[in-house]
Structure 1
């Protein structure tokens, strides 16, 4: 099929030519004396993406799941109790990972239409006067449902209870796209991957860790070698790794961070909000709804759209792929067949997203949904024009 394949899944995301060019380079010696000229400034600049001055960033070959495992194995011990909510596919997988490592997980089962239960967390933490809970796990943005969680609220719950538990955040589909404030929110470990907001190929797990979490790593008994913070940290001090790093991806990450900081992290978050609001206007115009019950928690990186009665969400995704050469995200777990997902994070602008919305309209109609052609596109256009005009006036 002529033209570009349209990629609108919630990761991997579209890769800019600048990053593609940065990665396309000959192999080199990762033990060369000047290798730190690449890695040391990169590790420092990554802290700006997480908005931390006090934390430390580790970059591992892997994915976000590897980052989860690094966080857990470095800071906790067998039998430790952790608190987590299960309200989506990826929050559930983090719980399973903890259980696989012999941790006692106190699970708050919630609807997949909600974010993390801040009030329930607060009540549990207040009651835990013996401080048995060693860590609280929260997904900032549940990629399966398109629902965000109030990380600042979870931090307030910990502080109000005077509770010393560590706060761990899955930021795989939020960091480098949504507003994320590691130091301000008191996050002790924030996990993400290279293939979403960083606009890169899959292959890097990026973990920012607070001084408190680094201190916990000194007494952790779970054990880690490949992901060991202390072992990696000693090498990182001089810009090296204790194993062969993904060198070409590090060059891509360098260019990614350059692009993010050139735009400015606040501007990156504002752009994602503007684009996501256009998608939400389109969904309203179609007469459909998003998965999340609370509009305040609708994600700015992925919209999980409920399909109308009688329409199979999986069929919509397949048809869009086969007929229009466009990749959408399907429903996961109990949402399979009930939703489709539009990813709008990373290297995306208004016109790209309008094309995606037009493709969605065609696929929905072809699969039996009574959608007025052009209705969602027009609603998004009107929003983008108004939002663009307001942004231009503010800049003058």
Structure 2
């Protein structure tokens, strides 16, 4: 028996992943394991491999690895590139930094466009950089779709148009680990060659699965690439997935959960899921601005529908504030990463969440600001309530 005092009610997990897991997904995973070479598993395999394509909006293959999203990063690079290849990247935040570090470790050559971490990737700068590459030597453009550390979204459709305007043949790769099922993502329509994601964000599952959507152009590139790969080889996965199998023991329990997660998303309506994320994000930002605090994303064009990063006033430490909120109100807020460490906290509005959950989180933050002595104005929660009330008013009026 624990000696810790029980805390009534649920823990508010307001970090941008792992996100809270719906009860139906938990129940789906609480099943006896199947023979992963038997007919019942094959049905499950075919179902999830088909269903996940609808979330990426692709007719092509989506590979499912038993790994974190970092594994999908490695698969994207090693299957399409060769030692010494040049890769254009944009440093939009901590996860772009980490992806670049992997590029370095694999013996590739990164060319990095810097930002102040307060916007997404600027398509015009990407186009200008590619136009200077007269020899067409850059083999890939890699950008983070939704930068979880900064709360800034990259407009992938604009980047696609920039690559086309530069008439450049580089592969277009994106990390949509926290973008999938939260932000608009159209793998086929936007000409994405490699799109990766993970299970623990918009898919409302535990960590442990990564996803890699690949185009025919990317598959063709993999036939010429010479970086070493084994576990993450696309060839093996494509061959086995064609019949609903995996080349090694799959994460069966997580695949049960994925099957149910896909069902939940389509029961709500995929467009409704994306609109909900936009609406909740806008409500959170309304609260932050009403408090007189500053949202890290400095251009609304790049606002993330998944997470809002809030800058702390000078002289106030974000980690101390997060600890106070956790200890007092049993709520976890996202930490500031890298150059934002101690200077910002993050409010997730991602995955299985709704208006009342977000309002509860904002209430805890507003009380925390008061207790921590952080300079702010009253009324942030009220501003969010007003926004959300107005956003649903047409629907309720129609129902009446």
Category of TM-score, reference length = shorter chain: over 0.9
Distance in structure 2 (CA, Å) of the matches to 1:34 and 1:253? 16
> Is residue 2:197 matched to residue 1:192?
yes
Map 1:227-376 onto structure 2 (within 5 A).
Answer: 227-373=232-378, 375-376=379-380
C-alpha displacement of 1:372: 4.3
Contact 2:36 2:42 in 1 (8 A): no
> Is residue 2:389 matched to residue 1:389?
no
Match of 2:127 in 1: 122
Which among 133, 140, 145 is matched to residue 138 of structure 2? 133
Contact 1:189 1:213 in 2 (8 A): yes
Contact 2:193 2:218 in 1 (8 A): yes
Please give the per-residue CA displacement for 1:19-44, whole angstroms capped at 9, x wherever unaligned: 00000011221111332110112111
> Is residue 2:45 matched to residue 1:39?
yes
What are structure 2's unaligned runs of at least 5 residues?
1-6
> Is residue 2:76 matched to residue 1:71?
yes
Please give the per-residue CA displacement for 1:294-348, whole angstroms capped at 9, x wherever unaligned: 0121111000001122211111111111111100001111111111000110000
Which among 3, 25, 29 is matched to residue 9 of structure 2? 3
C-alpha displacement of 1:128: 1.1
Distance in structure 2 (CA, Å) of the matches to 1:395 and 1:174? 32
Distance in structure 2 (CA, Å) of the matches to 1:306 and 1:5? 24
TM-score, length of structure 1 as denominator length:
0.97
SS in 2 for 1:218: helix
Which among 178, 188, 196 is matched to residue 183 of structure 1? 188
SS in 1 for 2:111: strand
SS in 2 for 1:75: coil
Aligned length: 394
Please give the per-residue CA displacement for 1:246-271, whole angstroms capped at 9, x wherever unaligned: 00000000000111122222111100
SS in 2 for 1:92: helix
Match of 2:3 in 1: none
Contact 1:169 1:189 in 2 (8 A): yes
C-alpha displacement of 1:130: 1.1
C-alpha displacement of 1:392: 4.4
C-alpha displacement of 1:371: 3.3
Cα separation, partners in 2 of 1:208 and 1:370, compared to 1, 3 Å: same
What are structure 1's unaligned runs of at least 5 residues?
none
Please give the per-residue CA displacement for 1:136-186, whole angstroms capped at 9, x wherever unaligned: 001111100000111111111111111110000010111111111111111
C-alpha displacement of 1:393: 5.4
Q: Which range moves more in the overlay, 240-249 or 28-37?
A: 28-37
SS in 1 for 2:224: coil
Cα separation, partners in 2 of 1:394 and 1:339, compared to 1, 3 Å: farther
Distance in structure 2 (CA, Å) of the matches to 1:318 and 1:222? 44
Please give the per-residue CA displacement for 1:199-227, whole angstroms capped at 9, x wherever unaligned: 00000011111111111111110021111
Cα separation, partners in 2 of 1:380 and 1:244, compared to 1, 3 Å: same
Cα separation, partners in 2 of 1:318 and 1:224, compared to 1, 3 Å: same
SS in 2 for 1:169: strand
C-alpha displacement of 1:395: 8.1
Distance in structure 2 (CA, Å) of the matches to 1:257 and 1:164? 34
Contact 1:188 1:213 in 2 (8 A): yes
C-alpha displacement of 1:394: 7.1
Contact 1:67 1:207 in 2 (8 A): yes
SS in 2 for 1:40: helix
Distance in structure 2 (CA, Å) of the matches to 1:81 and 1:253? 35
Match of 2:159 in 1: 154
Contact 1:178 1:268 in 2 (8 A): no
